[in-house]
Amino acid sequence: MFDSVSSYYKVHSKIYDLTRWSILFGRDRLLEVIPTDFQPERVLDLGCGTGKHLVKLAERFPEAKIIGVDASKEMLNKASVKIKSFDHIELAHTTLNTFLNSNNSFDLIVCSYSLTMFGDDHNYLELIHDSLTQNGLLAVVDFDHTPLKVFEQWMNLNHVEISGRLFPQLKNTFQEKNSETKSSYFGLWKYTLFLGGK
């Protein structure tokens, strides 16, 4: 298997858009949980991958400055093709910690199937919380938990933590505004959409 997230995406960036529709559920609904009257000036897509949400964010918030951050150069190469027609989107090839420790606050932070890949070696939720403006919002969709230990172990091999810890931690760190948990493949795993603020 892949010994790092970086090596994982060197391979998977080539097939990501072709395959992830079958497992990354709720991505199309993520931006729908953001209130229609919310108009952020600065938007951050953490773990933006190949840019699926960057284009949608740019279309919905044409006046906002939008930044997509990802640690995989290969994934950002894919994203750069999609955003060519938008001059208010920037891409940053760096880690979450490095970026959040050196940048200003954001009115909206979006995390689509990225938080479960960040691991336990840093205080990323606190960093995200500190990077939100006072009335800012965090929108997350991600794997939640699975009843099958063997599936959890398989996901761990693919650098995804599906232990069920993420969303309780989110609810302890952010003020919950909306949360929806849904089942996939007859309960093989559950995923959750979460909207929170300071």
CATH number at residue 164: 3.40.50.150
The dihedrals phi and psi of 62, each to the nearest 5 degrees, come to -65, -20
Q: What pLDDT, on a 0 to 100 scale, did the predictor assign at position 44?
A: 97
* Those residues with Cβ within 8 angstroms of residue 194's Cβ, 6 or more apart along the chain or in another chain: 138, 139, 140, 141, 167, 170, 171, 176, 178, 179
Report pLDDT for 118: 82
pLDDT digits (tens, 9 = 90+) for 92-147: 999 888 888 877 899 999 999 999 988 765 588 999 999 999 999 999 999 999 99
Q: What are phi and psi of 49, to 5 degrees?
A: 60, -130
Domain ranges, residue 86: 5-197
How many distinct structural domains can be found in the chain? 1
Does position 9 have pLDDT exceeding 70, yes or no? no
> Has residue 5 got a pLDDT over 70?
no
- Position 7 scores a pLDDT of 52
Q: Which of the four pLDDT bands, split at 50, 70 and 90, describes residue 11?
A: very low
Conformational region of residue 51, where left means phi above 0, alpha means psi within -120 to 50, and beta covers everything else: left
Q: Can you tell me the distance from the alpha carbon of 114 to that of 130, in angstroms, rounded to the nearest whole number?
A: 18
Q: What is the pLDDT of residues 161-193, one digit of tens each?
A: 999 999 999 999 999 999 999 999 999 999 999
Among 100, 129, 124, 110, which residue's Cα sits nearest to residue 194? 110
pLDDT band at 34; cut points 50, 70, 90: very high
pTM for the model: 0.89
Burial of 22 (0-12, 13-18, 19+ CB in 10 A): exposed
Classify 145 in phi/psi space as left (phi over 0), alpha (psi -120 to 50) or beta: beta
Give the full edge-to-edge strand order of the sheet including 106-112: 89-93, 65-70, 42-46, 106-112, 132-145, 189-197, 175-184
Dump the DSSP string for 34-48. S-TT---SEEEEET-
pLDDT digits 0-9 by tens, 41-61 = 999 999 999 999 999 999 999
pLDDT at residue 12 is higher than 50: no
